[in-house]
Amino acid sequence: MQDSAVALAKKLQSKEVSAKEVVQDLLPRLEKTNEEINAYVTLLPDEALKQAEEIDGKRARGEALGPWAGLPIGVKDLLCTEGVKTTCSSKMLENFVPPYDATVVRKIKDAGFIIMGKTNMDEFAMGSSSENSAFFTTKNPADHTRVPGGSSAGAAAASAAGIPVLNLGSDTGGSIRQPAAFCGCVGLKPTYGRVSRYGLIAFASSLDQIGPFAQTVEDCAMLMNVISGHDPMDGTSLSHPVPDYLKGLEGDLKGLKIGIPKEYFIEGLNAEVRGEVEKGIQTLESIGCETVEVSLPHTDYGIAVYYFVCTAEASSNLARYDGVVYGHRHMDATDIVDMAAKTRAEGFGDEVKRRIMLGTYVLSSGFYDAYYLKAQRVRRLIKQDFDQAFQKVDLIVTPTTPTTAFKFGDKTDDPLSMYLADVFTNSVNLAGIGGISIPCGNDSQGLPVGLQLIGPALGEEKLLKAAHHFQMAHGG
Ligand code: GLN
């Protein structure tokens, strides 16, 4: 493990290193590793060096700089970056250059973070392996024959490989936590509304949330301090005050009650993953947590409900890609309907088309009540399961994924088996609450296992504190 971002920031603040030295040290490593794992769609080496020089100039002149100025970061390629291509790893947006920054991008820029590039993902964030990227797949740094997870594939792989350790991703049904587990880094999906989604290219708006990747929980807490908070540009962002998540890590976990949901420790769970997570639970107990069994009785419906809700919202959100305003346009059409049809046929990949069709179907009159409306009702029951559990416990612990990273091609012929990769993560999005994946040992092939902690709405402080103390005690 290399320097954490918080440790590197101290060296920058004390002028032990300059921002330019940090970037010059990182760039050759980043470029070499990126050739092996393909984490980035766009690299910004010249811009990064220029930004580093500006920060060093400000520091030399004694101008005010935030504590994190000069830290390198990667940004998932669905967060709009002014003047820099934002592709969503789709042919539809292959040449799209946004005229504005997403709020999170603006915030990290204002805090002096240096953006190293835009990371690869499954097209429009739909997928669990990077195999749905229209451009290329990203390799798992732990084993290049295996997927890094998805959809924030490049972000997780970059964090795990340290190119750089900090990354921003998004999570609609597991896209931060599942790849973090597969690659062996930390990934937090905050409570819905904690982080502004303005400038995030929408997949499923009632589920999407932006969050941090890092090698340490402490770095995630630091990045949460920077990106959280109300934004008038996002009507769903919450106005609750943002606590100091870094400070919140202090203290101990004595008396913290952690629920173990019996529905998550089931037959489909790989025995080695189960074994590692059980050791993780023992670690939690050894540092003062009390564990009790809880029940989340509607867990079984999570996948079905998720795929009704997310496809319905995706079919509506992606209607805007018709060749008129954004992105790709078929140039040889007979009329506007023909243009929209051909543009969409060419611009979208198979999985995106599958979801648009499924979503259009579940919303169509005649089927709406049976599918979409019913799914929303069951979604409420899933949320109530968590509400009831959190009356008894502070946090919930589960495996992040049922297996470790699978091989490329293993699930591409069977969309349903791909969907099951998120069976332990998507209920958290349906309930609008927060979850974090932390490294928790390896299987016998050396592949990382992730432990997931789930917290109540706006429980990030508790979640990060428990995850931090777990990581310190368990290692990895
Ligand atoms: N893998 C899930 C899906 O394909 C989750 C994706 C995400 O969180 N963006 O929808």
pLDDT in tens, 228-246: 999 999 999 999 999 999 9
Please tell me the predicted confidence (pLDDT) of residue 476. 59
Options 175, 196, 237, 427, the catalytic residue: 175
Please tell me the predicted confidence (pLDDT) of residue 2. 77
Q: What is the mean pLDDT of residues 326-353?
A: 97
Instruction: Yes or no: say if 273 and 449 are a contact pair by the CB < 8 Å rule.
Output: yes
Helices (DSSP H) in 393-432: which residue ranges?
A: 415-419, 426-431
Q: How far is CA 329 from the centre of its chain?
A: 30
Question: What pLDDT digit, counting tens, does each position of 145-186 carry?
Answer: 999 999 999 999 999 999 999 999 999 999 999 999 999 999
How far does the centroid of ligand 1 lie from the alpha carbon of residue 6, in Å? 30
**What is the distance between the alpha carbons of residues 275 and 449, in angstroms, rounded to a whole number?**
10
How far does the centroid of ligand 1 lie from the alpha carbon of residue 208, in Å? 9
Question: What pLDDT digit, counting tens, does each position of 289-316 carry?
Answer: 999 999 999 999 999 999 999 999 999 9
Please tell me the predicted confidence (pLDDT) of residue 1. 54
How far does the centroid of ligand 1 lie from the alpha carbon of residue 230, in Å? 25
Q: Which residues contact 282 (CB under 8 A, 6 or more apart)?
A: none
CB of 126 sitting under 6 A from ligand 1: yes
Provide the residue count of the chain.
476
Please tell me the predicted confidence (pLDDT) of residue 326. 86
Please tell me the predicted confidence (pLDDT) of residue 268. 84
Please tell me the predicted confidence (pLDDT) of residue 475. 86
Please give the structure tokens belonging to residue 270. Answer: 């790989």
Q: What is the mean pLDDT of residues 373-400?
A: 98
For the chain, list the domains and their CATH numbers: 5-249 (3.90.1300.10)
Options 4, 20, 76, 133, the catalytic residue: 76
Please give the structure tokens belonging to residue 296. Answer: 């989340």
Nearest in space to 261 (alpha carbons), one of 75, 449, 389: 389
Instruction: Yes or no: say if 157 and 65 are a contact pair by the CB < 8 Å rule.
Output: no
**What is the distance between the alpha carbons of residues 426 and 382, in angstroms, rounded to a whole number?**
11
How far does the centroid of ligand 1 lie from the alpha carbon of residue 128, in Å? 6
Instruction: Yes or no: say if 398 and 449 are a contact pair by the CB < 8 Å rule.
Output: no
What is the residue-averaged pLDDT of the chain? 97
In the chain, the N- to C-terminal Cα span, in Å, equals 9
SS3 per-residue string spanning 171-222: ECCCCCHHHHHHHCCEEEECCCCCECCCCECCCCCCCCEEEEEECCHHHHHH
Q: What is the mean pLDDT of residues 96-121?
A: 98
For residues 264 and 326, which has the higher predicted lDDT (pLDDT)? 264
pTM, two decimal places: 0.98
Options 18, 129, 151, 315, the catalytic residue: 151
Active site residue 175: yes
**What is the distance between the alpha carbons of residues 35 and 29, in angstroms, rounded to a whole number?**
10
Beta-bridge partner residues of 84: 81
Residue 201 reports pLDDT greater than 90: yes
Residue 85 reports pLDDT greater than 80: yes
Instruction: Yes or no: say if 428 and 457 are a contact pair by the CB < 8 Å rule.
Output: no
Ligand 1 atom nearest to 178, measured from its CA:
1
